[in-house]
């Protein structure tokens, strides 16, 4: 690492600024997935227009998609040109994207703003994690990562609450005006943080690999999102899926040859030789796919049970409180037992909570609301326990000179998992005419994601782990 102030230490002001930047994606941009889709559909007058509704669903998943598609490239560029610089770029894109969303009058304009929000998140997430790893050490680093998780996991917990508080009185567009202000405040708090970069390299940036990777992921989520309206035998669906599969296979071989061509790998596959990094990253992908459960249950509550946004928001409070309360607990278990045990416990509790929500056949509304609130509480408890141990397991396994790239791949798993989970959940939900069946099917899909995440932890991450001995408490 090179920096302008090698002895500089991170402080609470830096962490607060970072958390606010992370919230612009996880709480504000992701609020569209929480409960805004039916509201925006009514505002745009497209409720009874299936092609436009599919496009709106695509707009909901396109922000995490572009975040996933661009995050590794952004992490590599941040290592090369400066992490603070890319945090600033992320703020600028966040503000512009939020303003476009707030001014949108139709789905097409909305998609443009959502794309910019996704690219913004791709710049912010790996650069801020790398800043945490650079300017904090030992237990202070783990604590800083816990606060980073408050912005991501905790922020996602407040999505529906934000919608319930803001939308009924100020309208849904106010959420994105507020997001722009929050991004600017976060940047102001971070000003004065020294720049940090990886050691200079003679290798060129992997433009070819980045282009193939981004195009392939866009084709993949487009196929998943639009498959129902196109028809799964339609040439557009088949072509998009074929392009995505061939592109991702081609990307792997391009990356394997990158070093021989004098190009810095976009994805350093050697990172996955560490079972700890691989297991944490794969389980992170699968557990983030459960984000589709939040979208599914909230839309089901609005459409299938006739609740309003404020009532839905109230029911998600148990998730927000639980995830924030348990994040420090996950950190303490990490210090005592290592990362694997809290990841197993957290993942199990999470998908069990989603299983409670999937009981849509229960006719009694009050009973079902109790199950959803209990499910949300378990969802939050599980993610709160899982988040810090998973992040620490992954990031601590990476060498310092690859900090932002490793963080980028890890957060790629988060964003791509969220994008695929939401897209697949909405596709499954939309495939049923009976709303109760739709809700059950969409939620059971997410239970499956949780089970797969548990298997990834059990069979990939080493079973024998020592407790962490961290210095500089």
Phi, psi of 462 (to 5 degrees): -55, 140
Average pLDDT, the chain: 86
End position of a domain, from candidates 229, 248, 263:
263
Check if the beta carbon of residue 38 is closer than 8 Å to that of residue 426.
no
Which residue, among 423, 413, 408, has the nearest Cα to 453 in the 3D structure? Answer: 413
Residue 408 and residue 343 share a domain: yes
- pLDDT category at 349 given cuts 50, 70, 90 is very high
Q: Is residue 467 part of a domain?
A: no
Please give the structure tokens belonging to residue 440.
Answer: 């059950």
**DSSP, res 3:** E
> pLDDT at residue 134 above 90?
no
1 within domain boundaries? no
Task: Return d(Cα 148, Cα 394) in angstroms, integer.
Answer: 14
134 and 220 assigned to the same domain: no
Same domain, yes or no: 70 and 84: yes
- Do residues 314 and 329 both lie within one domain? yes
Q: Say if residue 22 is in the same domain as residue 139.
A: yes
Whether 245 and 334 share a structural domain = no
Residue 22 domain flag:
yes
Same domain membership, residue 234 and residue 124: no
Query: In which residue are the tokens 């129902």 written?
Result: 228
Q: Residue 185: exposed, middle, or buried by beta-carbon count in 10 A (0-12, 13-18, 19+)?
A: middle
What residue numbers bound the domain in which 111 lies?
Answer: 9-197+264-460
Q: Is residue 472 part of a domain?
A: no
How large is the average pLDDT for residues 296-308? Answer: 91
Together in a domain, 32 and 20? yes
CATH number for 441: 1.20.1250.20
In a domain, 79, yes or no: yes
> Which of the listed ranges 306-315, 325-334, 446-455 does the model predict with the highest average pLDDT?
446-455
Q: How many domains does the chain have?
A: 2
Tokens 């024998």 locate to: 464
Look at residue 67 and tell me if it is in a domain: yes
Burial class (CB in 10 A: 0-12, 13-18, 19+), 352: middle
Indicate the SS3 state at residue 287: helix
Highest-scoring range by mean pLDDT, 322-326, 410-414, 435-439, 468-472? 435-439
pLDDT tens per residue across span 79-132: 888 999 999 999 999 999 999 999 999 999 999 999 999 999 999 988 998 898
pLDDT tens, position by position, 307-321: 988 888 888 888 888
Q: How confident is the model at residue 464 (pLDDT cuts 50, 70, 90)?
A: low
Task: From 263, 287, 310, give the residue that closes a domain.
Answer: 263
300 lies in the same domain as 175: yes
Residue 91: name the closest of 125, 59, 57 by CA.
125
Which residue has tokens 């992370």?
22
In a domain, 376, yes or no: yes
Return the higher-pLDDT residue of 192 and 179. 179
Domain limit, last residue, from 263, 283, 311:
263
Domain match, 30 and 144 both: yes
pLDDT (mean) for 62-74: 81
Averaged pLDDT for residues 14-39:
87
Residue 345 covered by a domain: yes
Q: Are residues 443 and 454 in the same domain?
A: yes
pLDDT in tens, 35-56: 688 889 989 999 888 778 878 8
- To which H or E segment does residue 196 belong? strand 196-197
Distance CA 299, CA 241 (A): 27
Please tell me the distance from the alpha carbon of residue 286 to that of residue 446, in angstroms, as a whole number. 9
36 and 115, same domain (yes or no) = yes
């Amino acid at each position: 690492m090179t920096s302008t102030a090698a002895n500089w230490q991170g402080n609470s002001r830096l962490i607060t600024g970072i958390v606010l930047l992370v919230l612009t994606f996880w709480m504000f941009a992701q609020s569209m997935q929480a409960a805004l889709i039916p509201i925006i559909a009514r505002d745009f007058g497209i409720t009874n227009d299936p092609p436009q509704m599919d496009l709106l669903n695509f707009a909901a998943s396109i922000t995490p998609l572009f975040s996933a598609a661009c995050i590794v490239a952004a992490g590599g560029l941040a290592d090369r040109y400066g992490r603070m610089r890319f945090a600033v770029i992320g703020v600028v894109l966040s503000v512009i994207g939020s303003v476009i969303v707030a001014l949108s009058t139709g789905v097409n304009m909305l998609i443009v703003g959502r794309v910019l929000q996704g690219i913004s998140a791709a710049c912010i997430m790996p650069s801020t994690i790398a800043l945490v790893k650079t300017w904090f050490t030992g237990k202070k680093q783990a604590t800083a990562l816990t606060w980073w998780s408050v912005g991501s996991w905790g922020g996602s917990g407040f999505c529906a609450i934000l919608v319930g508080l803001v939308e009924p009185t100020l309208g849904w567009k106010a959420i994105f005006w507020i997001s722009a202000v929050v991004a600017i405040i976060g940047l102001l708090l971070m000003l004065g943080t020294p720049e940090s970069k990886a050691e200079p390299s003679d290798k060129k940036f992997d433009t070819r690999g980045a282009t193939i990777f981004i195009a392939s992921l866009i084709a993949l989520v487009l196929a998943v999102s639009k498959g129902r309206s196109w028809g799964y035998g339609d040439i557009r669906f088949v072509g998009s899926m074929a392009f995505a599969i061939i592109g991702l296979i081609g990307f792997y071989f391009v990356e394997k040859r990158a070093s021989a061509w004098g190009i810095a790998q976009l994805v350093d596959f050697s990172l996955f030789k560490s079972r700890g990094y691989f297991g944490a990253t794969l389980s992170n992908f699968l557990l983030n796919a459960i984000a589709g459960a939040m979208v599914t249950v909230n839309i089901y509550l609005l459409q299938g049970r006739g609740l309003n946004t404020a009532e839905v928001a109230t029911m998600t409070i148990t998730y927000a409180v639980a995830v924030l309360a348990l994040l420090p607990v996950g950190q303490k278990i990490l210090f005592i037992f290592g990362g694997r045990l809290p990841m197993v416990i957290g993942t199990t509790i999470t998908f069990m909570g989603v299983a409670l929500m999937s009981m849509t056949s229960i006719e009694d509304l009050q009973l079902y609301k109790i199950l959803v609130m209990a499910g949300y509480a378990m969802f939050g408890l599980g993610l709160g326990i899982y988040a810090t141990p998973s992040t620490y397991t992954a990031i601590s396994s990476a060498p310092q000179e690859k900090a932002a790239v490793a963080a980028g791949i890890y957060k790629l798993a988060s964003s791509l998992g969220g994008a695929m989970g939401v897209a697949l959940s909405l596709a499954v939900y939309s495939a049923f005419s009976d709303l109760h069946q739709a809700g059950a099917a969409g939620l059971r899909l997410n239970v499956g994601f949780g089970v797969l995440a548990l298997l990834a932890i059990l069979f990939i991450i080493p079973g024998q782990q020592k407790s962490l001995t961290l210095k500089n408490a």
